[in-house]
Amino acid sequence: MSHPILACRDVCKLYGPRAERFVRDGKLAAEPSALAEAGVTAATLNVSLEIERGETFVIMGLSGSGKSTLVRILSGLTPPTAGVVLFEDRDLASMSEHELIQIRRHQMGMVFQHFALLPHLTVLGNVAFPLEIQGRPRTEREARAREMITLVGLDGREGRFPRELSGGQQQRVGIARSLAAGPDLWFLDEPFSALDPLIRREMQDEVLRLQGLLKKTIVFITHDFDEATRIADRIVIMKDGRVEQVGSAEELVLKPATDYVRAFTRDAPRAKILTARAVLAPAPPGGDFAGEVAATARIASFARDVERATKPFAVTEGGKLLGVVDRLAMIDVLVGHADRAA
């Protein structure tokens, strides 16, 4: 059984007068109503999560949901008031300040919403900066920085300053800088929300491309469900500091655990999220099919073919027939399910 690279258990972050008095033996010992009466705000409340090595895990919610506080706790930048954060099975709270700094320098990378580039340094200088902090020799850090600049498609711009770059190019510099130290964990805190829609989509594609190459563990924060569904293996939806539900985009859409999740996902582009597995029906005898689709294929990729066909399509996985998909099945999920939810 694999161990998660990052996990938190009953994590709370309280703000207010003497907030620590509500904690006993490392756990919250008060109801939310008691916190409110005392003027204490819970930015996160009993959050428990496990993030597997190599997955893209998206934390999402509206403003005030606690997602940014949670990522600061997970990255060791903010200590929790209660609960435990484990990085590779080690409690961050048990580590010295020196150990935490070394982990953040060598094993964690972060991309910020507003780029956070150093204006007096060139592209090469910005990307090499984390390696300079580590004390690596100049030739080594510049060679590594050039590799990362090439990786994010900024060859030829090494000598430019941030003010000479577009917003998308600046964010690519931020991505290259965050990857320079070869982190195990890659945090992206609403990295594309300041970009125009077209550039934002290009940057989402860039994250997908880089993840395909590097296989990092990504913790990505966003308030945009469409963005989350494009890049996530799993998504956690937060509200008022609490976890509402954790699951794949398909699970959140088809099996919302709460009314809030149902409302949050109601307008999601189902054809781009749901797979053939979600709409399959038992295969009729005879095996007369118009074609074949993979169980993991998104509906949008085969909907037109199914619409035109007079026979169902076989849904397969690993050479095994799982069922069939036809026009009625797609309509039921894409239209009928939405009507029932409304």
Domain layout of the chain by residue ranges: 52-83+92-265, 270-341
Could you tell me the pTM of the whole model?
0.88
- What digits encode the pLDDT tens for the residues 134-184? 899 999 999 999 999 999 999 999 999 999 999 889 999 999 999 998 899
Q: Work out the average pLDDT over 108-116.
A: 83
Condensed to tens digits (0 to 9), the pLDDT of residues 206-251 reads: 999 999 999 999 999 998 898 999 999 999 999 999 999 999 999 9
For residues 203 and 223, what is the distance between their CA atoms, to the nearest angstrom?
16
* Mean pLDDT over the full length of the chain: 90
**In contact, 16 and 38? CB cutoff 8 Å:** yes
pLDDT of residue 195: 82
Q: DSSP assignment, residue 137? A: -
The contacts of residue 328 (CB under 8 Å, 6+ apart) are none
- CATH fold, domain 52-83+92-265, is Rossmann fold (3.40.50)
Beta bridge partners of 6: 51, 87
> What CATH number belongs to 270-341?
3.90.1280
CA torsion angle 102 103 104 108 (round to 10) = 140
Closest CA to 108 of 137, 134, 146: 134
Q: CA-to-CA distance for 69 and 241, rounded, in angstroms?
A: 9
Q: Taking each helix axis from N to C terminus, what angle separates 197-214 and 167-179, rounded to the nearest 10 degrees?
A: 20
Q: Report residue 185: phi and psi, to 5°.
A: -115, 135
Q: Mind spelling out the 3-state secondary structure of 241-285? A: CEEEEEECHHHHHHCCCCHHHHHHHCCCCHHHHCEHHHHCECCCC
The amino acid occupying position 130 is P
> What pLDDT shows up at residue 115?
74
- Cα angle for residues 219, 112, 220 (degrees, 5° grid): 15
Residue 50's nearest CA partner among 6, 93, 14 is 6
Contacts of 66 (CB under 8 A, 6+ apart): 13, 43, 44, 45, 47, 238, 240, 241, 242
- Give whole-number Cα distances, 235 to 47, 76, 99, 157, in Å: 14, 21, 30, 35
Two tokens, residue 202: 């290009």
* Residue 193 pLDDT exceeds 90: no
Return the residue matching tokens 């190599």. 54
Does residue 341 have a pLDDT over 50? Answer: no
Residue 167 contacts residue 194 (beta carbons within 8 Å): yes
> What pLDDT, on a 0 to 100 scale, did the predictor assign at position 60?
93
Using the predicted structure, report yes or no on whether residue 2 has a pLDDT greater than 90: no
Per-residue confidence band for 337, with pLDDT thresholds at 50, 70 and 90 = low
Separation of CA 222 from chain center: 8
